[in-house]
Amino acid sequence: MNKSGSCLCGAITYETSGALRPVVACHCAQCRKTSGNYVTATSVARDRITIKGEPVWFASSDTARRGFCGTCGSNLFWDGAGKNISIFAGTIDGESGLKLKGHIFCADKGDYYDIADGLPRAEQADADLTTKVE
């Protein structure tokens, strides 16, 4: 599955080759702070993505960083220590062909919305729903 995507202004683009993980919604406080709501992301093996342009990387914890466009501010990537890099699903160009698989960090979700889609939910991280950070 080859996909492409970009930030809003086009200064950063990416191309993937190979399988993408189904989309997972993250409701943690960090995702809510960086996006204004929860985040939906897929992931791809590190050797299966080519990034053009220079994302700004912010170390959001001791084990992960977030990549965004320094020009338009678009959130693009979440990068932990695992084999994959997460890509924010809304940045994929055109039809993704992906489906939402479930929700993580539901204990931290905002009080202004409900999760009512019937998909699996985890109160915190869940290795069954996401790529496990090694």
- Other CB atoms within 10 Å distance of the CB of residue 56: 14
**Average pLDDT of the chain?**
93
CA neighbor of 107 nearest in space, from 42, 26, 53, 51: 26
3-state secondary structure of 39: strand
Rg (CA), the chain: 14
pLDDT per position as a tens digit, 46-74: 999 999 999 999 999 998 999 999 999 99
pTM listed for this prediction: 0.91
Q: Residue 26 and residue 4: Cα distance in Å, rounded?
A: 22
Q: Which domains does the chain have, with CATH numbers?
A: 3-108 (2.170.150.70)
Tens digit of each residue's pLDDT (9 = 90 or more) over 94-128: 999 999 999 999 999 999 999 999 999 999 998 88
